[in-house]
Each structure stands twice: as structure tokens, then as C-alpha cells.
Amino acid sequence: MKIGVPREIKNHEYRVGLTPASVRELTARGHSVLVQTGAGAAIGLGDADYQAAGATLVSDAAAVFAQAAMIVKVKEPQPPELALLRPGQILFTYLHLAPDPALTAALIRSGAICIAYETVTGRQHTLPLLAPMSEVAGRMAVQVGAAHLEKSRGGMGVLLGGVPGVPASHVVILGAGTVGAHAAQVAVGMGARVTVLNRGLERLRALDQLHGNRITTLQASAQAIEDAVLGAELVIGCALVAGAAAPQLVSRALVARMKQGAVVVDVAIDQGGCFETSHPTTHADPTFVVDGVVHYCVANMPGNVARTATLALNNATLPCVLALAGKGWQQAMREDPHLREGLNVAQGHVTHEAVARQLGHLWVPADRLLG
């Protein structure tokens, strides 16, 4: 198969779909890989590295899309890229369609085979292609939250871990999945007072066994969320429903009652966000203030640590890329029900039930398109 890797064009997005090491694995199996010049240059993956791995360099994205049977990206296609998709072409990337009806409609019109990293499943209901970026985002959330608590960034002017004689800041984490677990780990390490809320007790038990009395775990009732948020200096929102919009856990009215200069980091913004007051921001302009509360809602947080994120992502995605390239999308999905869950839009149909339900489209199960 001929596989294309365009340079990412979303604001401050420096990750790349395939590393030279991944290209080498593909070319060793007889596939050809087209890489747009400069695709990995910003994170130290130069054109010469790709050529040495067997890739063919292509000067512009239009040529990559025109020649490749499968496009491997990191972020959802931007408008100029949507115009380049064609019927039957495989698109393998993060999509996050539930909060984006315009993108979903454009992918339906394209006729392309659109497979989303974030809905590919694993054993025990895991999301293995989302997990690497969730790990990165969870750790970053505490870092950026601590930075924006500084007065120069608009925060109330407190140190996350405090100092002897001065109490540590209270970090509240809404959701105990991969993002929440990694956020808790970093917050504990920085000396914060940490409370994690989740609707499922199993995840809370796991975190309790890991951290013991260094964190507080609470069942995420409306009252518990309200009490915790009102007492927090930093709130990290990371609740997730696979394929669907994130649950809005914090209302505008509750934000208005939070401490002045508190910070919220909405890691779930890719799926619509956990806070009613959230809207997507960029690395170039990452924050806004509502009722005295600083909101950090960057939709591609791991893009700011792009080299680490790219390497972690490729560790997870490469086996799927090899399967799709070696067997074709239909055979690969017939054999692997977990990969099949990644199919969101195909041949003009919405094939993921949660996306269809969220956006009001007819759901066509993937099985019907697999021959």
C-alpha cells in the first residue's frame, strides 16, 4: 500500500503521523511511504532521516493526498485537507467527531474511510490509541495549571505545593481514567492536596491503592463536585465517554462561585469539554477568563511536547497501520473487532453509534460495509 504522511497544519501542531522508525517497519514489508518535506523537522525528525528509512519525500500536501491510498495524521483534517480527501481513501488520525458536526458532514461528503484513533478499543474496554496522549495530557494538565496559578498568568498567585507554614493548593480532578490518574500522580509529586472524583468506584479503588492517604477519592455526585470545585485552586476536567460528547460537570453558575484567580484545565475540550464555560483555545492564545476564573482549553495539549507525544503515539498506532496496510481496511476490521470500533465514517455513512446518536445521523454498523 502507498501511505501518505502530510505535515500537520493545525495551530502549533508539531507532531507527525509516522516517525522514521515506523516508516522503516512499513517499507521493510513492501509498502511505500510518502512524507511531506518538513513533516517532522520541528521535533528533530529531519527529511534525511525519513529518506534513510525508505520514504519518498513530496513537496506539498496535495501531492501526498493525491497519491496515497492511506493518510496517517495526528489531528483531524483542517479545511484545506478536507478538500483533498477522496472516496475510498483511508484516513487514520484523531477525529473527535461528537462535538464537531461540520467536520462529520465534510467526512461524510468525502466518501473516505475515516478511522479515529480515539475509538479503537482494547481489552477490558481500554482505548489504547488514546491512552498515550491521555498520559501526556494528564501530566501536562498539572504543569500548565500550576503555571497559570501564578499572578503573571492571571491566577491568584499561589504555589501548587505550598511551602513550610503555608498550605498546599487544592487540586480537584474530575475523572479517574488515564488522564485523571496521570494528573493525580504529578499533582501528588508536586505536593498538592489532591481530590479525585469519578462515577465508577473501581477506578477510585485503584487510585486509592496506589496513593493511599495522599489523595482523597470521592464518588462524583452533584453535591460532591460542587463542594470540591468551590474549594479548589485548580480543577482539571477529564471525564470521557468514548466517541460521545464529554459530560458537562461544572455549570456556568458554579464557575461564577469559584475562587477568584482559580484555574480550570479542560482536557476534555476535544470532546466538547467538562465545563459549561469552556471553548477551544490554541497554544498561541491558550487561556480566557470567565467570572475571574482562568480557563485553559487547548484542544491539542500534547502538541506542545510534540517529540515525546509523537514517539508515544507511534508506539500505539504502528500495529494498526501495519494491519490496515497489509490487509486492507475491510479484511483488517473483519479480523479485529477492536480496530473495527475505530471506524467512524465510511463510504458516506456514520459507522460509530455514539457519534451518530450525538449528531443525529443514521447509524450504519461497520459490519454492513465489510463485505
The catalytic residues are 96, 270
Residues 264 and 245: their CA atoms lie apart, in Å, by 19
β-pairing, 343-346 vs 349-350, is antiparallel
Please answer whether residues 163 and 133 qualify as being in contact, where contact means their C-beta atoms are separated by less than 8 angstroms. no
User: Which ranges of 83-221 does DSSP label H, i.e. alpha helix?
Assistant: 101-110, 131-148, 178-189, 201-211
**E strand or H helix at 321:** helix 306-327
Residue with cell string 494528573: 183
SS3 content of the chain, % helix, strand, coil (to 5): 45, 20, 40
Burial of 86 (0-12, 13-18, 19+ CB in 10 A): exposed
How many angstroms separate the Cα of 233 from the Cα of each of 63, 148, 227?
49, 11, 13
* Residue 261, helix vs strand vs coil: coil
Sign of the alpha-carbon dihedral angle for 12, 98, 6, 35 = positive
Instruction: Name the DSSP letter for residue 247.
Output: P
DSSP result, 163-174:
BTTBPPPEEEEE
Beta bridge partners of 195: 172, 216
